[in-house]
Structure 1
Amino acid sequence: MRMSSKVFYGSTAATGAFHLAVRRATSHAIINPLTLLKCGQKPSSSMARTYDSALSQLSALQSNFAVHSLFGPPALSASDVSPGKTQDLNALAIPEMLAWLGRAGLATSDLAKLKCIHVAGTKGKGSVCAYLTSILTQSPFRSVAGRVGTYTSPHLVTVRERIMLDGQPISQELFTKYFFEVWDAFTASARAEFHRQNGDKPAATKLDTATEAELQGPATKPFYFRFLTIMAFHVFLREGVRSAVVECGIGGEYDSTNVLPAAAITASVVTQLGIDHVGMLGGTLPEIAWHKMGVAKLGRKCFTRNLRGETGARTMEVIRNRAQEIGAELVEVADQDVETWGGVKAEGIGGLEGSFQKYNQALAVAAANEHFAQLKAPFTTSKVFDDLPSEVNQGLQHARLRGRCETREDGNITWLIDGAHTAESLQEVAKWYASKRTATPGSQMILMFNQQQREAGRLLQVLLSGIAENGALGSKIFDRAVFTRNELDTRAGKEPERDLSVQKAAAEAFKEMCPGKEAAIFDNVTGAVEFAGSTDTQDAHSQKKMVLVTGSLHLVGALLRILEPEAPI
């Protein structure tokens, strides 16, 4: 008996039928797949239960990029087209996610057992999550915080970075275990739905090989990010996590993580805002702020930075109105208070550098204090930044986040690594790079840059202009530059030529802004790294090199894999 494609819960969105079966199935009672497995339904048996197999299955799920591509002009069928009729994919997101949650055997009442700090924003989300995790895992706080889980995205080297327990990526063993528990739960739920729609008795009906393969495969599973979000919640519940730091993927209101109920939230944070994901969130800061404020919850405090200027005032009006509509208590952290406090300087290799981090630190400290207050053990009272406990300062000093203002010494090369990919974040990178360059004169200066899906030339101009404005570098901003795609290695023999139009455009923009300087183009990061490490005959007197790698987190991830070839994936 062949399984009809109409039964699929999976990735039909790319063809315009956005999870049609999922929407249809939300009207039915959810059968707990964990119960089905316990009652004799066999787990997927055609695949090996190994870590490599888990990674292979995960990679088969539709990517976030494929989801983003849906948010252009909507593709409507002829029967759907009528004057003024539109297709709001955003509005489908949370109902669909709740349906997927149920198919994994979880309910919002289960998630309410967690005590979560929910973090949204355009830039600084990762840093705030790193600071929060570091604070919560300080030894003196463990009796209150309990076990700490952290869910972030994207990852740089290994997907296990996205799900952390007590500040460390989940082990390969645990990842494999919980991946297949969730995968099998989705398979069991799809099998039960298939039998229900066909009027079969599951125990008496043997499915043909092709149907069973489809049930076990990726077509009956949610998108990549949704799957990992549900898996993270499953891990936290199974591993006895009490305190969780949860970062939004995109936006807030319709983000997959926003299935967390108000009962699970102790505090929420909206970090610095910027223009990003325009197709999904809008092209202005007020529009984007509306989405980000979706993480605010009734009766809970939401912390954000008080924005200044004309645009800031309009944006703050949206933020305040949304907080009032939701019934959340908005706490606006003023820049003046943060600057008076001054923040805490990072310590040790890999610490979070950059003067702008004090604003992220302030949001993290305020949210952590509220988290502990909800757990009946705040570490400060009214003036949050006065006389912080030493454990909080230590948490800020020792927070780690790969690929954000990261300095790495490798022989005669100093790598300055930051995955900034918006105009606002590149402005901060420019300040950081200028300060590092001024402090270490005499090195050959090299730029490695990519921005595959954005206006690379415009963002490159933002970076170069910012460096010139923030450092005594004169006209010598970089000696040379290399522009590359994000693929790790050269293309395989039969692989078609890779599109280098973005890289060529960026190289031309660089030559206009830095006349007379070399600009190389590569279709892989390995070649770009070799170029950066080679000797420039025009600067042969300088053997020391300072390489700024920025513009894309995917570029940074590929670089780290090259620099750390023995690191486990």
Structure 2
Amino acid sequence: MLIRISSSNSPISIATTSCRCQLQRLHHHPVHSTSFRSRSFSGLSSTTAPSTTNLTTSLKKASFIFPSHHVHQIRHRTHHANNSSGALKTENKTLTAAAASARPTSTTSRSGIMSSTLAHDGKRNRTYDDALARLAQLQSNKAITNLFSGPNVPLDNLNALATPETLWWLNRAGYTPESIASSGLRCVHVAGTKGKGSVATLISSILTQYTNPPEIGTQIGLYTSPHVVSVRERIQLNGTPISEDKFGKYFFEVWDKLSEAARDAQDSLPEGEEYDGPATKPFYFRFLTILAFHVFIREGVKSAVIECGIGGEYDPTTAILSAPESVTACVVTQLGIDHVSMLGDTVPKIAWHKAGIFKRGVKGITRKLNVANMNGDVVAEEVMKVLRDRAAEKGLGVLEEVSDERVEAWQGIKEAKLEGPFQKYNMVLAVRAAREHLHKIGVADLNGFELSNMPDRVMAGLKSASLRGRSEKLVDGDMIEWFVDGAHTEDSLRGVGQWFAREVSNSADEWLNVLLFNQQDRDPEVLLKALLSAAEKEFGGQGPLFTHAIFTRNEESSSGSDDLVVQNKARDVFLGFVGGSEAEIKTWTKDAVGPSMDLIRDMARKNDNGAATKYRVLVTGSFHLVGAVLRDIDRVRLEQKQLPAEEGRQ
């Protein structure tokens, strides 16, 4: 939410609490920035302002972001605000109208995103690398989400501001939810705690099978987050990240449009900032979300799968897809505890947010939770009640609850690229969502969509779907096999432990097993115990599963830091759990991923007796760790000419 105020020189608009509120929408895989920037831009009318008390409280918490004289002016003016403006209206029409009214007249008169009049005199770089440099200037996601960890944060008011702010930025980019719907783009919307990226990818892979012959268009869009190696992973066409050329082209179309809008509105800027700079742009995740929809529309995409960033109710993707006709199906995947500072500290509270993607008249699909599949948590029925109540509140057409019995009776897909016992549940949700999408857009091939008798194209889509850093296996020469998964919650790590142990148990080869683990922001004890208990149970008491373990920081190369408190704690937890001595199980702590990779490769070259040994390495606990490991592996493969040049770039 933005409120217009005046400075001594010119009108200025400042996000009243967006510095804290919005940022919860941003995903957890950041492009790091070193400082916060004051952001000034035209705003929505003050008739939708939060209460003066909450606004002032939020400003006190945000004062380190804004210049002090701006904060003082906001406090002074909000002291006289009319409290009758009161509660923020959240109906789509109200929000869209408010956002549209805020658009500068000169901007709305333009024909669209392609009408950029910024000079391109050859001096300005327009390369993919330049786009990455601009993107890195935007407010980082991690810094934003960290703001929600402070005491006494008024989350309700902060959350309520997220949707109108997203719509305001969307308008500045030349779009509204209605214009996106009128383009013919139809989307499957996916939220959840565990497996939402996999489910989104599986749906996209199934739908891509229907592009030849082109029953639903020639390209299927996919928007997911976070990325693991390259930001282009977030925006895909037919299961492939968009090219560097397309990313750069469409990035600057959106960037220039936002710059023009700020210039046309005569926005006041902080000293030293320019209209073409980051001060006139939204935050990292929100910018990429708008960019994704722009790419899909410019590419003529008619079917897309959109994954939420965090939550659902206040996520930027939900605001942009607020026209019900834009959405063909809503999927809520497995629920659990995550992002508690933003979504709440219980699964029912989190379920309320996730169910925010439900749309009037649209089918919802979710896994039917019970005590067993929630690891004994007795709140399962309460969670389902929240989902059902939210479905009724939102006017959902029907909520399909997929039972575990139905999934377990299905034999699954052999040789699927997305492996692991947990992927079976994701596949069933994906099949049901893809079927609903095809039904909504008029594709007749729906007979045989039952699990026991699926069309060949659906089977092919499930088999070929892949997602970087999720159940990913890579071979490094003849001596190392990498098992890579960015799982970072208890539930996800249990699944990864089962997957790795099953892979090891099914192999007759004699390999040694290495755990490469990091989780810098969450309790490593809870996560490691979830991983190890599930893995050892699946392994079936055949001796210690892991003979080696490395606990590292996430940095790619050594920085000289001697802060290994988290790593030492993780090692102690590991040794305490496996019950082995240092003589039986070797462990290390490392200050960076690079030295960890060197250690593993050195071990594979020779053991203590000088003979080579084969290793299986499970890399898990953090997407940051997984990204660094995959970049290292890609670098080696690129040097060995085993990887196309563009795939080895960020």
Tell me, yes or no, whether TM beats 0.5: yes
Please point out which of 175, 186, 202 is paired with 1:115: 186
CA contact (8 A) 2:43 2:102 kept: no
CA contact (8 A) 2:407 2:428 kept: yes
CA distance in 2, matches of 1:473, 1:539: 28
Which amino acid in the other structure matches residue 170 of structure 1? I
Equivalent residue, structure 2, for 1:550: 620
Please point out which of 556, 571, 593 is paired with 1:525: 593
Please point out which of 214, 227, 230 is paired with 1:155: 227
Change (3 A) 1:91 1:346: farther
Change (3 A) 1:229 1:508: same
Equivalent residue, structure 2, for 1:82: none
Equivalent residue, structure 2, for 1:501: 565
Please point out which of 171, 196, 207 is paired with 1:136: 207
Change (3 A) 1:458 1:376: same
1:344 aligns with 2:416: no
Q: Find the residue that maps to 1:54 and give its secondary structure.
A: helix
Measure how far apart 1:315 and its partner are. Answer: 0.6
1:155-174 equivalence runs, <5 A:
155-174=227-246
Which amino acid in the other structure matches residue 518 of structure 1? K
Please point out which of 467, 474, 483 is paired with 1:408: 474
Equivalent residue, structure 1, for 2:79: none
Q: Find the residue that maps to 1:442 and give its secondary structure.
A: coil
CA contact (8 A) 2:190 2:305 kept: yes
CA distance in 1, matches of 2:387, 2:36: 33
Which amino acid in the other structure matches residue 48 of structure 1? N
CA distance in 1, matches of 2:258, 2:612: 58
Please point out which of 102, 127, 136 is paired with 1:29: 102
Equivalent residue, structure 2, for 1:200: none
CA distance in 2, matches of 1:410, 1:247: 31
Q: Find the residue that maps to 2:296 and give its secondary structure.
A: helix
1:335 aligns with 2:404: yes
CA distance in 2, matches of 1:419, 1:114: 31
Which amino acid in the other structure matches residue 221 of structure 1? K
Change (3 A) 1:396 1:539: farther
Measure how far apart 1:384 and its partner are. Answer: 3.0
Measure how far apart 1:127 and its partner are. Answer: 1.1
Segments of structure 1 that go 5 or more residues without pairing to the other structure are 77-84, 198-206
CA distance in 1, matches of 2:272, 2:8: 9
Change (3 A) 1:489 1:8: farther
CA contact (8 A) 2:281 2:287 kept: yes
CA contact (8 A) 1:10 1:223 kept: no
- Structure 1 window deviating more from structure 2 (254-263 vs 26-35): it is 26-35
CA distance in 1, matches of 2:628, 2:453: 41
CA contact (8 A) 1:482 1:532 kept: no
Change (3 A) 1:247 1:155: same
CA contact (8 A) 1:346 1:398 kept: no
Please point out which of 461, 465, 469 is paired with 1:395: 461
CA deviation map 1:369-391 (0-9, x unaligned): 11011011243258632421111
Change (3 A) 1:177 1:481: same
CA contact (8 A) 1:346 1:396 kept: no
Which amino acid in the other structure matches residue 133 of structure 2? S
CA contact (8 A) 1:253 1:293 kept: yes
1:563 aligns with 2:633: yes
CA distance in 2, matches of 1:541, 1:36: 65
CA distance in 2, matches of 1:439, 1:534: 26
CA contact (8 A) 2:163 2:314 kept: yes
Q: Find the residue that maps to 1:458 and give its secondary structure.
A: helix
Measure how far apart 1:534 and its partner are. Answer: 2.4
1:49-448 equivalence runs, <5 A:
49-73=126-150, 88-112=157-181, 113-139=184-210, 142-146=213-217, 147-194=219-266, 213-259=273-319, 260=321, 261-309=323-371, 310-328=378-396, 329-347=398-416, 351-381=417-447, 384-411=450-477, 412-440=479-507, 441-448=509-516
CA distance in 1, matches of 2:206, 2:280: 39
CA distance in 2, matches of 1:319, 1:235: 32
Measure how far apart 1:341 and its partner are. Answer: 2.1
1:512 aligns with 2:576: yes
- Structure 1 window deviating more from structure 2 (136-145 vs 414-423): it is 136-145
- Residue-pair matches, total: 542
1:534 aligns with 2:606: no
- Structure 1 window deviating more from structure 2 (386-395 vs 100-109): it is 386-395
Segments of structure 2 that go 5 or more residues without pairing to the other structure are 1-6, 21-34, 46-97, 372-377, 639-647
CA distance in 1, matches of 2:435, 2:499: 29
Which amino acid in the other structure matches residue 500 of structure 1? L
Measure how far apart 1:67 and its partner are. Answer: 1.8
Measure how far apart 1:541 and its partner are. Answer: 6.1
CA deviation map 1:73-122 (0-9, x unaligned): 4678xxxxxxxx77621111111000000011111112213100001111
Please point out which of 118, 130, 134 is paired with 1:42: 118
CA distance in 2, matches of 1:387, 1:279: 44
1:479 aligns with 2:541: no
- Structure 1 window deviating more from structure 2 (377-386 vs 124-133): it is 377-386
Aligned-pair identity in percent equals 44
Change (3 A) 1:21 1:128: same
CA contact (8 A) 1:140 1:391 kept: no
CA distance in 1, matches of 2:204, 2:362: 20
Measure how far apart 1:346 and its partner are. Answer: 3.0
Change (3 A) 1:193 1:404: same
CA contact (8 A) 1:346 1:397 kept: yes
Structure 1 vs Structure 2 CA RMSD: 2.9
Which amino acid in the other structure matches residue 220 of structure 1? T
Measure how far apart 1:181 and its partner are. Answer: 0.6
Measure how far apart 1:253 and its partner are. Answer: 0.6
CA distance in 1, matches of 2:17, 2:280: 8
CA distance in 2, matches of 1:539, 1:321: 64
Measure how far apart 1:365 and its partner are. Answer: 0.6
Change (3 A) 1:236 1:212: farther
Measure how far apart 1:556 and its partner are. Answer: 1.0
Measure how far apart 1:508 and its partner are. Answer: 2.0
Measure how far apart 1:539 and its partner are. Answer: 8.1
Which amino acid in the other structure matches residue 305 of structure 1? R
CA distance in 2, matches of 1:35, 1:43: 18
CA distance in 2, matches of 1:179, 1:388: 39
Measure how far apart 1:131 and its partner are. Answer: 1.0
Which amino acid in the other structure matches residue 531 of structure 1? L
Which amino acid in the other structure matches residue 497 of structure 1? S
CA contact (8 A) 2:173 2:257 kept: yes
CA contact (8 A) 2:190 2:308 kept: yes
Measure how far apart 1:497 and its partner are. Answer: 2.9
Change (3 A) 1:40 1:126: closer
Q: Find the residue that maps to 1:404 and give its secondary structure.
A: coil
Change (3 A) 1:274 1:2: same
Change (3 A) 1:159 1:43: farther
- Structure 1 window deviating more from structure 2 (463-472 vs 148-157): it is 463-472
CA distance in 1, matches of 2:254, 2:449: 44
Measure how far apart 1:568 and its partner are. Answer: 2.5
CA deviation map 1:124-165 (0-9, x unaligned): 111111111111111566522212111000111110110011
